[in-house]
């Protein structure tokens, strides 16, 4: 119903205004909590919510349970009710041992035979497991895991969590049970402890304990004040889902307005999973919530059904847990150091503290934004953590223990070594010294070049690198191979035997091959795995230099960002000098082609694109066959594509293949090629 205003104009009725505001607020909740892309400020959001509250107070008959204003109940519940899960919430197997993880992945592959197994990697968020039940799109119940069979009804508290939509959007199933983790951010704990200190209450030790206690409180108003969060990662009882894989399922959850677990990765093989673990662990410092491991799940739902469950846990999922150790100590100083690519990294100098059986006196602060985001100041008491192989890092500041008005850390604007102006990555967080001749960069580059994961030069340690640079004997990688015995004998601590040993180690490194060279020369975003993939594909530095960005980007696990970085390096004046210098001193920058490939690997090393409507195969079947035969099923056509399989109504991909003169096969021709 519309209400007429002066001079014949129209305005919305209170009911219509309320509905419009609710939809608008739900939209902004989704943009903030699900998409992580807010469109309005907190102040603007608060004004919308205040306007809705005002309207509902004036028209209480229009208030509904799913309104954004109804996140905090009026009265505490008398007690927590026990609820039986319709589908048990099973625990999952876990291990701290990498060899045990390899064995689990191999066992899964063995149990499904020749079918390829793609793995989804999720972060194991350190919180409290819970299940949310929606009926006809409305949240009706939230239950903790409990003993897996029966849990506590915590609906009154979960309704206060802003991540959790009270009403789903889109076209959800009539009944949907999603499972996930209730957690608290470190920044929320900092603020909570600050408030408690002002009330002369003891501080909480960690986010998980607070979450576990808070979610079971009888008064939802206290829970609302503590700003808990929620991520979905699984499903319980559901009447109908369209998804056939876990990755599709997460997308489906997002389409309903639910917050799916973040930073999820998909790997096509167990080898890719193992190779990625260290890199993933190193990225955890940037998160504002606690992670105590990684969860590996079979992506395809049909394979999960085939694998089944034991009495305690599913056979298609495992947690690789990370041993974590925390301690509280004082931050005495922040200093910066320059890395091999010019990145200026802040380092915390700590009051020595025992952590995991060792004395820790330094911790990485990673970048300037971390210092600002965590509000870390010299003189603060800080919680420092060591997890797995990750070097110690600061988790949070104990602000309730801050003494006085400590000044913010002034991040330098010029390189601490060469004094040239620093620059920030465009769209990034890292600040760099761009001076290629910076002595600090040179030392770090040479140290890495000589390391075990790079050229593995026996006898070339940090101290000797420093001596060589200080004596102006080495100004680049190639100079290492021009060193003479007489030059080394001029350095302190060098005798004939030590000099001969170092020269022998340098000479031996000449034949490490292309993959080692690529991993050694400090190309941004290029580590040992990417180097190995590129070396197997291109086989020589000349072929790599001739590759276009599109060719590089179409390489499995490379992508556009890494391709751009490689191309920029190889075609820059500096990069060309590095390659020419190594070539001049006889460093081998080629790779032998693979030999003795299995007979069934007919598509080994080939990139194939499938397009159009197929008759003989379903799309996932032909892509699985390509993978089984050693090939790569790509989604786009580029110069790196070996051939295209085209069915009926093939569109732009077929046009692109013809434009690039890439061979095109029909289904029958493809069948003859792979079966013949």
Token pair of 84 as six digits: 């039986």
DSSP 397: E
Token pair of 351 as six digits: 């009051």
CA angle 57/44/221 to nearest 5° reads 50
Which ranges constitute the DSSP H helices of 287-340? Answer: 301-307
In total, the chain counts a number of residues equal to 676
Q: What residues act catalytically?
A: 124
CA dihedral sign of residues 510, 511, 516, 518: positive
Give dist(CA 59, CA 335) in Å, integer: 59
Give dist(CA 664, CA 642) in Å, integer: 9
Give dist(CA 394, CA 588) in Å, integer: 42
What's the distance, CA 370 to chain centroid?
16
Give dist(CA 599, CA 260) in Å, integer: 42
The DSSP line for 150-202 is: EEEB-HHHHTT-TTS-SB--S---SEEEEEEEEE--HHHHHHHHHHHHHTT-P
Residue 10, burial from CB neighbour count under 10 angstroms (0-12, 13-18, 19+)? exposed
Distances (CA, A) of 651 to 554, 620, 644: 20, 19, 12
Token pair of 64 as six digits: 């509904």
Angle between helices 98-112 and 270-282 (to 10 degrees): 150
What's the distance, CA 477 to chain centroid?
32
DSSP 32: I
Q: In sequence order, which residues have a C-beta less than 8 Å from that of residue 29 and are 6 or more positions away?
A: 68, 162, 165, 257
Give dist(CA 56, CA 62) in Å, integer: 7
What's the distance, CA 460 to chain centroid?
34
Token pair of 40 as six digits: 């309005």
Collapsed DSSP state (helix, strand, coil) of residue 447: helix
Token pair of 665 as six digits: 């096969």
Collapsed DSSP state (helix, strand, coil) of residue 542: helix
List, in sequence order, every residue forming a beta bridge with 595; answer none if it has no partner: none
């Amino acid at each position: 119903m519309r209400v007429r205003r002066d001079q014949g104009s129209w305005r919305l009725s209170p009911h219509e205004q309320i509905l419009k505001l609710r939809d608008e607020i739900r939209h902004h909740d989704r943009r903030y909590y699900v998409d992580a892309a807010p469109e309005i400020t907190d102040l603007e959001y608060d004004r919308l919510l205040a306007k809705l509250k005002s309207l509902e107070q004036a028209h209480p008959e229009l208030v509904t349970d799913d309104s954004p204003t109804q996140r905090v109940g009026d009265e505490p519940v008398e007690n927590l009710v026990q609820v039986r899960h319709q589908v048990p919430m099973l625990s999952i197997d876990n291990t701290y041992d990498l060899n045990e993880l390899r064995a689990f992945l191999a066992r899964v592959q063995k149990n499904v035979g020749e079918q390829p197994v793609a793995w989804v990697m999720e972060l194991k968020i350190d919180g409290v497991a819970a299940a949310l039940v929606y009926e006809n799109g409305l949240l009706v119940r939230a239950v903790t895991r409990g003993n897996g069979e029966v849990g506590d009804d915590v609906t009154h508290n979960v309704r206060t969590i802003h991540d959790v939509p009270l009403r789903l959007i889109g076209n959800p199933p009539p009944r949907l049970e999603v499972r996930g983790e209730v957690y608290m951010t470190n920044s929320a704990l900092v603020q909570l402890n600050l408030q408690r200190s002002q009330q002369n209450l003891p501080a909480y030790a960690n986010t998980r304990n607070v979450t576990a206690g808070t979610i079971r409180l009888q008064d939802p108003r206290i829970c609302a004040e503590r700003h808990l969060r929620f991520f979905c990662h699984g499903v319980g009882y559901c009447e109908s889902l369209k998804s056939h894989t876990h990755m599709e399922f997460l997308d489906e959850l997002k389409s309903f307005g639910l917050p799916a677990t973040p930073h999820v990765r998909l790997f096509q093989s167990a080898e890719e999973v193992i190779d990625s673990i260290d890199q993933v662990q190193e990225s955890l410092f940037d998160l504002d919530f606690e992670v105590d491991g990684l969860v590996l799940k079979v992506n395809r739902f049909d394979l999960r059904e085939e694998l089944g469950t034991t009495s305690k846990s599913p056979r298609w999922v495992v947690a690789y847990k990370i041993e974590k150790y925390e301690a509280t100590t004082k931050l005495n100083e922040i200093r910066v150091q320059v890395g091999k690519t010019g990145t200026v990294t802040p380092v915390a100098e700590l009051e020595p503290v025992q952590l995991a059986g060792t004395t820790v006196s330094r911790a990485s602060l990673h970048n300037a934004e971390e210092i600002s985001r965590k509000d870390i100041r010299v003189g603060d008491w800080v919680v420092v953590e060591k997890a797995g192989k990750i070097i110690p890092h600061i988790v949070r500041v104990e602000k309730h223990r801050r003494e006085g008005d400590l000044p913010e850390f002034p991040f330098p604007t010029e390189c601490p070594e060469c004094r040239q102006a620093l620059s920030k990555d465009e769209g990034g967080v890292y600040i760099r010294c761009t001076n290629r001749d910076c002595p600090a960069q040179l030392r770090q580059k040479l140290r890495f070049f000589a390391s075990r994961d790079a050229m593995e030069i026996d006898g070339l340690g940090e101290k000797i690198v420093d001596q060589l640079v200080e004596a102006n004997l080495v100004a680049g990688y190639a100079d290492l191979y021009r060193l003479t015995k007489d030059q080394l004998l001029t350095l302190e601590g060098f005798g004939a035997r030590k000099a001969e040993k170092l020269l022998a180690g340098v000479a031996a490194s000449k034949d490490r091959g292309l993959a080692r060279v690529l991993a050694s020369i400090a190309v941004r975003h290029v580590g040992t795995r990417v180097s190995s993939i590129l070396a197997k594909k291109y086989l020589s530095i000349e072929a790599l230099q001739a590759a276009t960005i599109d060719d590089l980007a179409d390489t499995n696990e490379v992508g556009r960002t890494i391709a751009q970085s490689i191309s920029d390096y190889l075609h820059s004046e500096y990069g060309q000098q590095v390659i020419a210098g190594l070539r001049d001193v006889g460093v081998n920058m080629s790779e032998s082609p693979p030999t003795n490939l299995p007979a069934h690997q007919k598509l080994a090393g080939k990139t194939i694109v499938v397009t159009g409507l197929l008759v003989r195969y379903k799309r996932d079947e032909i892509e699985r066959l390509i993978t089984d035969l050693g090939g790569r099923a790509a989604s786009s056509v580029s110069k790196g594509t070996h051939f295209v399989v085209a069915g009926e109504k093939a569109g732009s991909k077929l046009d692109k293949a013809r434009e690039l003169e890439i061979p095109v096969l029909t289904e029958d021709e493809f069948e003859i090629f792979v079966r013949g």
